[in-house]
A and B are shown apart, each in its own frame.
Chain A
């Protein structure tokens, strides 16, 4: 072991804080190295001096002076109103309180939101009637419902109306697409279906009779097609 290594470990050597093998190696080095011995002696004298300097010069135990304070000072757990609370219990109580607050807030908010949606829907219905009636300016408007609080639904009402218009537009597109996709003669038949009445759907030919009516056709006719039984098939074949 080199001198630098030994000097680096001198403090821990004096504290008996080194592993046994290292302690033995330092000890063996110190036996034959005069300079390291000097270094260690200097360190020991400095530590002794510091220990002496740090000792209180006039220690006089005064327990008797402390005794009246002991009788006056109650233990913390004996103080009135004190109840020892475990840390985990504190954390659990805080977590439960927070969960309760969040639950109450969420329930309250959802109730408020439901009430608002109901109010807006009612206003929307009232607005549709109003719009219908307003196309006839000469007549009176008995169905018109005035909004008691227009500022509440001022933002949501246009959105709902636009949403309703989009739905109607989508329904119209579906209607047109269904009419366009119907094969061959089904298209004029489908267009004529409302005129013929609810029981107008009938399979025309054999090739088309085996085909299950599509959803579009159902949309066009507005009625569920009657199921084609085997007797009807035989009649068609004849």
Chain B
């Protein structure tokens, strides 16, 4: 398992070196590999599909702009998500303002939901659970939420997350543990086993 991961990381670094020399096809390969993961990260943080896509494209554009400064110092995933985190922190205030605006306009939201077609039971149940999950995530502090969301992305180790969040590994562990404890308390009623 470790050998395969190491090979994947080496391959990513090689591909990025080709991007550094100006290869668009290599950049397309990186896009194919990491688009979904970046999209999930931004969606988990913003809870907005369109905003997640915009931020994802912005991240790739910035990687393309900064390609000549890239140096192989760690995993490429860590490098990419560090750029993504910086972009997210730049947009965080705007997103917060938008969330406050949404919270201040409950009538329009309720009217919009009433007009939307009712999904089948299974989808409704999933949507309800997703709503609970996001409500519980919204109650978390920013750093705990980011540690939790990043760990949910496949392929990111705790060391990568520590490098992305610029904090020690034990801090990532404790943030994630606190986040999971709070989520369990918030979601305990949904899982009657």
Taking Cβ atoms with an 8 Å cutoff, the residues of A that contact B are: 11-12, 15, 17, 38, 41-43, 45-47, 49-59, 61-63, 65-67, 69-70, 73-78, 84
A contact residues around B180 at 8 Å (CB): 11, 43, 46-47
* B interface SS class: helix
How far, in whole Å, are A38 and B188 apart by their CA atoms in the complex? Answer: 13
Taking Cβ atoms with an 8 Å cutoff, the residues of B that contact A are: 24, 27-28, 31-32, 35-36, 39-40, 43-44, 49, 52-53, 57, 60-61, 64-69, 126, 129-130, 133-134, 137, 148-149, 151-152, 158, 173, 176-177, 180, 183-184, 187-188, 190-191, 193
Given contacts A38-B193, A50-B148, 6 further A-B contacts (CB under 8 A): A12-B177, A47-B180, A52-B130, A55-B43, A73-B65, A76-B65
B contact residues around A47 at 8 Å (CB): 152, 180
How far, in whole Å, are A58 and B48 apart by their CA atoms in the complex? Answer: 11
Given contacts A50-B133, A61-B31, contact A66 B61 (CB under 8 A): yes
The 9 closest A-B pairs by CB, nearest first: A54-B44, A53-B130, A53-B133, A77-B68, A56-B43, A56-B39, A61-B35, A75-B68, A63-B31
B contact residues around A69 at 8 Å (CB): 57, 61
Closest to A43 in B: B184
Closest to A82 in B: B68
Closest to B190 in A: A49
Is the Cβ of A67 less than 8 Å from the Cβ of B52?
no
How far, in whole Å, are A12 and B180 apart by their CA atoms in the complex? Answer: 11
